[in-house]
Structure 1
Amino acid sequence: MRLLALSGSLRARSSNGAVLRSALALHDGPATTADIGALPHFNPDLDGENATPPPPVAALRTAAAAADAILIVSPEYAHGVPGVLKNALDWLVSSGECVDKPTAVITASPFPTGGDHANAQLRETLRTMSADVIASACVEIPAIGPKVDPTTERITDEATLAGLRTALSHLTAEPAPAPAPAEA
Structure 2
Amino acid sequence: MRCEIPEVGRCCFCFPLRLGLIVWGYLKLAASLVLLVVILMSFITNLQRQNYPHDILFLGSNIFYIGSLFADIVFHIIFAVGAHKKDPKKMELFLKFCIYTLVTYVLGLCYALYLTFSGYFFGFIFGLVIGTLFFSCIVIEIYIMILIRSEVVKLKRGSNFQFVNHSADANISVEIDVDNKTIY
Task: Tell me if both proteins adopt one fold, taking TM over 0.5 as the criterion.
Answer: no
TM-score class normalised by the smaller sequence: under 0.3
Q: Looking at CA atoms only, which structure, 1 or 2, has the larger radius of gyration?
A: 2
Question: When the two structures are superposed, what TM-score results if normalisation uses the length of structure 1?
Answer: 0.24
Name whichever structure is richer in helix by fraction.
Answer: 2
Question: When the two structures are superposed, what TM-score results if normalisation uses the length of structure 2?
Answer: 0.24
